[in-house]
Chain A
Amino acid sequence: MKFSVNSPILFVMVGVIIALVLAQSVYFLCKALRRAKELGMDPQKLKKTARTAAIFTIAPAVAIVISVITLSKDLGLPLPWLRLSVVGSMSYETIAATNAESAMGLTFGRVTSLSASEFVTIASVMTLSIMVGIWLVPAIGEKLQNGMISMENRDKRWGDVFQSAMFIGMIAAFLGYVFCDFSTVFSGSTSGLIPVAVMAVSAIVMALAGLAVKKLKWHWIADYALPVSLVAGMASAIPITAWLG
C-alpha cells in the first residue's frame, strides 16, 4: 500500500482508537451517575456540574483544534488528531514531534513529505515518551488514594488543609508561570506584561462575578463565572497584545 500521512487507513485506525477513548469517558460517566443515584445525590447538582464542565471546555478544546491544524502541516491530520485526543498536551506533542524530526535531520514546520519509516519513527517517539502516567496510575493510584484516606481518618482537619494546599500549590506554579517573561520589562520591552494583564482581566471578571453572587444574590452567575472569566481574558489578549506587544 502506498504511504501518505493522510492515508484513509490511518483515519480509520485513529477513528477506532478515539472511539475507544470516548467509550472510556462514557463508561466512567455512567458509573459515577449510577453511584450518585444510589447515594441520593441531587440530580440538579450533577446536571450543573456537567453543564459547567462542558461550557468551560469549549475554549481550551478549540485551542487544541488549532494545535491539530499546526501539527497537521508536517504530520498530516490523523496523527495529530490521535495525539491531541489522548494523553499529552499541546506543548508536549509539539516538542516530541520537533525532537523526532530533528533526530532524522528534518526541521519542524518545514516538512513537505514524510516516508512511512519517518512517520512511524515520529509516532513512536510521541507515543513512548508520554507513556508513564497511563500505567503508573493503575500501579499506584489506589495506594495514593488510600494514603489520603488514612491521613484524613487520623486528622480530618489536616486532611482538608492538605487538599487545599495541593490545589494552591498547583495554582501558585501557574501564577508564577504567567510572570515568566516579566523580566523583559527591565530591558524596556512591554511584551512580558501581556500575560500578566490578561490574567488581571480574568481575575477582575471572576472577582466581579463573586461580588454579584455575594451582594446581589445572583447565584446563577457562579455556574458560568470560570468560563466567562476565561473567555474575557482571552478576548482581552487581542487589544492588550496590540497595545503592549
Chain B
Amino acid sequence: MKKTYMDSVHHDGRIWNLSMMVILLLFPVLVALIFKTAPNWHGLLMGLLATAPMYWAVGVVETITYVPMLGAGGSYLSFVTGNISNLKLPCALNALEQAGVKANSEEGEIISTVAIAVSSIVTTVIIAVGVVLIVPLTPLLSAPVLVPAFAQILPALFGGLGVVFVSKNWKIAVAPVVLMLALFIFVPALNAGTVGIMVPVSVLFTLGVSRLLYKKGLLG
C-alpha cells in the first residue's frame, strides 16, 4: 500500500524524536565522562523525586491533550522544542484561524506544521543571538522598567486569543470559562505551577458540555 503524507510524517517524526531523546540524554553522560565525574547520586534521586513524578504525569496528560490540537508534524516538533502552551499551541491556533482551515484536515496539518516549525526556528535563533550578545543584552533585558511586561506575557497572550475563540464559540465557552474562573479564584492551591494540570481538566469538562449541547441540538 502506498505511504500517505501522514504516514511519512509519523515515520520521520518517530525517528527524529527518538534520536533527539537519546542525544538529550547523552548530554549529562558525556559531561560526566569528559570531566571524569559522576552525579551526586543522593542529589539526583532526591531531585528526581521532587520533580519527575509531577512532570511525568503532566507529560502523559499533555501528550493526550495537545497532540489532537497540534497535528502530527506540529506534535513531533513541539515535544522536542518545548514551550508548548505558552508559544507553539497559540501560534498554531492563530495560524489555523487566519488560514481558515480545520485542524484535522491535511491543509490544517500543513498550516500547523509550518507555523510551529517557523516559531521553533525563530525561537532557537533568538535564544542563540541572546546567548552571543548576553553581555550587552543583560542590563537592557533585566531593566526594572521591563520586568512587569515580561512577567505578564501569559495574560497578554490569552487575552487576545480568548477574544477570537470565545467570541466564535461562545455557547461552548461559557461553562468552562465560568468554572475555571471560579476554581482559580477560590482554590488557593491553583496557580502558575498547576495550570498545566488544569488544562486537561478544562478540556474534558468542555468536551462533556459540548457533547451535551450537541446532543440537544443547541450548537446550530
Residues of A within 8 A of B177 (CB): 172, 175-176
CB-CB under 8 A for A226 and B161, given A18-B124, A64-B127, A130-B55: yes
Q: Is A103 close to B, CB under 8 A?
A: yes
Q: Complex: how many Å from CA A146 to CA B88?
A: 22
CB-CB under 8 A for A198 and B40, given A103-B50, A165-B206: no
With beta carbons under 8 angstroms apart, the residue of A31, A85, A115 that contacts B37 is A115
Contact-residue bracket for chain B: 35 or more
Residue pair A28, B73 in contact (C-beta under 8 Å)? yes
Task: Please count how many residues in chain A sit with their CB below 8 Å of the partner chain's CB atoms.
Answer: 154
Residue pair A168, B154 in contact (C-beta under 8 Å)? no
Q: Complex: how many Å from CA A231 to CA B163?
A: 16
Which of B32, B35, B156 neighbours the largest number of chain A CB atoms within 10 Å of its CB? B156
Within A152-207, the residues touching B (CB, 8 Å) are 152, 157-183, 194-196, 198-203, 205-207
Residue pair B103, A233 in contact (C-beta under 8 Å)? no
Residues of A within 8 A of B39 (CB): 117, 120-121, 124
Residue pair B126, A27 in contact (C-beta under 8 Å)? no
Residue pair A223, B98 in contact (C-beta under 8 Å)? yes
Residue pair A13, B27 in contact (C-beta under 8 Å)? yes
Residue pair B56, A173 in contact (C-beta under 8 Å)? no
CB-CB under 8 A for A26 and B117, given A118-B43, A180-B191: yes
Residue pair A202, B127 in contact (C-beta under 8 Å)? no
Residue pair A141, B156 in contact (C-beta under 8 Å)? no
Residue pair A25, B185 in contact (C-beta under 8 Å)? no
Q: Mark A132-166, 1 if CB is under 8 A from B, else 0.
A: 11111110111011001100100001111111111
Within A19-78, the residues touching B (CB, 8 Å) are 20-22, 24-29, 31-33, 35-36, 39, 41, 45-46, 48-50, 52-54, 56-66, 68-69, 72, 77
Least CB distance, A184 to chain B, in whole angstroms: 10
Least CB distance, A45 to chain B, in whole angstroms: 6
Residues of A within 8 A of B161 (CB): 171, 206, 226
Residue pair B153, A234 in contact (C-beta under 8 Å)? yes
Interface residues of chain B: helix, strand, loop or mixed (majority): helix
Least CB distance, A161 to chain B, in whole angstroms: 5
Residue pair A201, B159 in contact (C-beta under 8 Å)? yes
Residue pair B85, A183 in contact (C-beta under 8 Å)? no
Residue pair B10, A222 in contact (C-beta under 8 Å)? no
Residue pair B46, A103 in contact (C-beta under 8 Å)? yes
Residues of A within 8 A of B50 (CB): 99, 102-103
Residues of A within 8 A of B13 (CB): 28, 137-138, 141
Residue pair A85, B114 in contact (C-beta under 8 Å)? no
Residue pair A131, B198 in contact (C-beta under 8 Å)? no
Q: Is B1 close to A, CB under 8 A?
A: no
Residues of B within 8 A of A82 (CB): 27
Least CB distance, A204 to chain B, in whole angstroms: 8
Q: Complex: how many Å from CA A128 to CA B21?
A: 10
Residues of B within 8 A of A119 (CB): 31
With beta carbons under 8 angstroms apart, the residue of A45, A104, A234 that contacts B99 is A45
Least CB distance, B124 to chain A, in whole angstroms: 5
Residues of B within 8 A of A102 (CB): 47, 50
Within B110-157, the residues touching A (CB, 8 Å) are 110-111, 113-128, 130-131, 134, 137-138, 141-142, 145-146, 148-157
With beta carbons under 8 angstroms apart, the residue of B52, B56, B126, B156 that contacts A234 is B156
Residue pair A162, B40 in contact (C-beta under 8 Å)? no
Within B53-78, the residues touching A (CB, 8 Å) are 55-56, 59-60, 62-65, 67-69, 71-73, 75-77
Q: Complex: how many Å from CA A208 to CA B65?
A: 31
Q: Is A3 close to B, CB under 8 A?
A: yes
Least CB distance, B166 to chain A, in whole angstroms: 7
Residues of A within 8 A of B94 (CB): 52-53, 56, 226
In addition to A29-B117, A86-B20, A103-B46, 4 A-B residue pairs with Cβ atoms within 8 Å of each other are: A59-B153, A85-B82, A128-B48, A226-B161
8 A-B pairs in the complex with CB atoms less than 8 angstroms apart: A27-B16, A45-B111, A63-B150, A124-B39, A173-B198, A200-B159, A202-B159, A236-B156
